[in-house]
């Protein structure tokens, strides 16, 4: 599924039409920790960090970054979005910035 399909399902706001992630693989914006048993925990965490950086680089040049970040700060029933890179912020960054206590149990990775 392309990111535009994902955003089209999740977001019904005009700014989405200008999103830099349109046409990109949605998995880039919802990276998960690999379950590769042959790698150490540190290697897996580094892989995840690199995956998140790829998405953040796309967001960095996005013309609707502010709108996207603002949306993600309230899109979960008025609370910050729990998953994914939105507006260049990952889950922990978003929860820290918007003052909602980050719940480790919510993490998929």
What residues make contact with ligand SF4 under the rule CB under 6 A?
19-21, 29, 58-59, 62, 64-65, 68, 85-88
**How near is the Cβ of 25 to ligand SF4 at its closest, in Å?**
12
Residue with tokens 């005009």: 14
**Minimum separation from the CB atom of position 43 to ligand SF4 (A):** 26
| Angstrom distance (rounded) from CA 67 to CA 7 | 13
For the bound state, the minimum distance from the C-beta of residue 37 to ligand SF4, rounded and expressed in Å, comes to 31
What's phi and psi for 100, nearest 5 deg?
A: -100, 130
Q: Based on CB atoms, which residue is closest to ligand SF4, 22 or 109?
A: 22
| Cβ neighbours for 100, distance < 8 A, ≥ 6 positions apart | 79, 80
CB closer to ligand SF4, 43 vs 60: 60
The residue whose two tokens read 């719940």 is 103
């Amino acid at each position: 599924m392309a990111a535009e399909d994902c955003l089209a399902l999740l977001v019904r706001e005009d700014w989405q039409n200008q999103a830099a992630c349109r046409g990109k693989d949605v998995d880039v914006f919802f990276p998960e920790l690999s379950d590769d048993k042959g790698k150490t925990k540190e290697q897996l965490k580094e892989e995840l960090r690199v995956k998140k950086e790829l998405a953040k680089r796309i967001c960095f040049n996005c013309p609707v970054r502010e709108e996207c970040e603002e949306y993600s700060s309230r899109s979960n029933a008025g609370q910050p979005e729990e998953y994914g890179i939105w507006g260049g912020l990952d889950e922990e960054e978003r929860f820290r910035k918007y003052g909602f206590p980050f719940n480790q149990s919510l993490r998929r990775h």
